[in-house]
A and B are shown apart, each in its own frame.
Chain A
Amino acid sequence: MDTEGTIRTVMRELEIDTSGVDGGTRLREDLQVDSTELVEIAVALERRAPVALDTDEILALRTFADLVTYVDNAPRRA
């Protein structure tokens, strides 16, 4: 599965409604995802993919596209 698909799956599993989400969708303002949810998304993504995600970098992301790009470029775990 591609990065965007994985993120959408994770968000749905965490009961975050991803219908109508596109790259410009804002995580906090539009999806009403708060800091603890972003941390939970990071944990869930690390369980699904061999990536290392930094808590503070995740918290600084603004849009869904930012999240996809960040995960795409995140360091890979061995």
Chain B
Amino acid sequence: MPGVDPLNGRCSIGVDIVDVDRLRRMVQRSGDQMLDRLLCPAERDLVYGARGLRWDSLAGRVAAKEAVRKVFGSRGSMPRWRDIEVETGPHGEPVLLLRGDAQTLADTLGFQRLLLSIAHEKSAAVAVVLAM
């Protein structure tokens, strides 16, 4: 209905796409130092499978963090990269966890929930974040 905003302006959306092969080349060139900058310690374990680093999972997490930054950026704020963590929920779903100043920023902006969906195929990973 025109003129009615049930979320009182507190809803934002962010999306990002990551080229899996391009990210793989970057990490293979730069090694662990790159992974240390991109991922929180707990996430390092989650992106490794029985056959080594799962590039699609890494790309999905990077896309998710960038999508979160777009959500906050649209409100003039920018959380620190490593204050954004992607956990795995009880049903295997990705769950966003904000740490430190990122959570404070979310509280300030009135974000009560951050919903995340990630999709990936061989060449690309896409993440969508809805803040409300």
Contacts and interface: CB of A to CB of B under 8 A. Distances in A.
Contacts of B80: 55-56
B34 A35 contact: no
Given A36-B62, A42-B37, A43-B30, 20 more contacts: A14-B29, A35-B62, A35-B81, A36-B18, A36-B23, A37-B26, A39-B34, A39-B37, A39-B38, A40-B26, A40-B30, A43-B37, A46-B33, A47-B33, A55-B37, A55-B81, A55-B82, A56-B80, A56-B81, A59-B78
Contacts of A46: 33
Interface string B24-47: 001001100110011000000000
B119 to A, nearest CB: 18
Interface residues of A, number: 15
Nearest to B80: A56
Interface of B: prevailing SS: helix
A36 B26 contact: yes
A42 B81 CA distance: 14
Interface of A: 14, 35-37, 39-40, 42-44, 46-47, 55-56, 59-60
Contacts of A55: 37, 80-82
Give chain B's interface residue range (CB within 8 Å of chain A).
10 to 19
B30 A44 contact: yes
B56 interface: no
A37 B80 CA distance: 17
Given A43-B33, A44-B30, A46-B33, A36 B38 contact: yes
B52 to A, nearest CB: 20
